Amino acid sequence: MSAAALAALIRERQPCVVLTGAGVSTESGIPDFRSATGIWADIDPFEVASLPAFRRDPERVWRFYRERLDVLRDANPNAAHVALAELEERGLVQAVVTQNIDLLHTRAGSQDVVEVHGSIRSAQCPGCLWTEQADAVLAQLEARPTPTCPRCGEVLKPGVVLFGELLPAAAMERATQLARGARLVLVVGSSLEVWPVAGLPLEARAFAIVNRGPTALDEHALLKIDAGAGETLSAVLDAL
């Protein structure tokens, strides 16, 4: 019933832009951050994933990040990623703005993906802005604890946004424009706790939410479905 209601909203309120968070990838075996079983339940993000930590102890940050890379590169897109790619293919989703760094939307076939927290695709040199692709970074990590810039020798920074770091300006600008132009922002698998991305639905004329558990904006949503992303989006596709 609620999937049918969401399908009707998507059909009626074009353009529709999707905003995804960790909950869209948990069904791919990728742990989220903030739930009771999430990554930050055991580890302090400011020790392993913040800009000050990277400056103080890049080896520790890379140790943590390399473990994540191994998990993320072994994961595969799930029914939710596939359904969102199919919705774009049918012209019912304009773009996917994602907080996820795992590349699973792209691997599922989504064409227009805006990565507002960066991605595991590459690492960057803070000195000369060289971009090193993930395969080359992993090859370096086989030989030493931190990868370095082949051009200037500085320690590379993971291509994901660290705590204390600004979001990539071009991606955030594009995400904001997409939200402002949308007649529906569909939030999937995000508890909308991490700003400024959590504010994007408020830029749109209306939004709907698919998420297990409450979000910060439930009472303002046109529709809230408290269920898993894969099952819900598959049902929405069937209803369209």
Q: Which of 60, 130, 164, 216 binds Zn ion (CB under 5 A)?
A: 130
From the list 90-98, 111-119, 128-136, 197-205, the region that binds Zn ion by CB under 5 A is 128-136
- Least Å distance between CB 125 and Zn ion? 3
Choose between 154 and 226: whose C-beta lies nearer to Zn ion.
154
Our answer to whether residue 117 is catalytic in this structure is yes
CA gap 96, 29 in Å, rounded: 21
- Least Å distance between CB 153 and Zn ion? 7
From the list 8-16, 130-138, 158-166, 191-199, the region that binds Zn ion by CB under 5 A is 130-138
Choose between 131 and 177: whose C-beta lies nearer to Zn ion.
131
The token pair that represents 83 in the structure block: 């359904």
From the list 55-63, 103-111, 125-133, 226-234, the region that binds Zn ion by CB under 5 A is 125-133
Q: Which of 69, 114, 116, 125 binds Zn ion (CB under 5 A)?
A: 125
Contact footprint for Zn ion (CB under 5 A): 125, 127-128, 130, 149, 151-152, 154
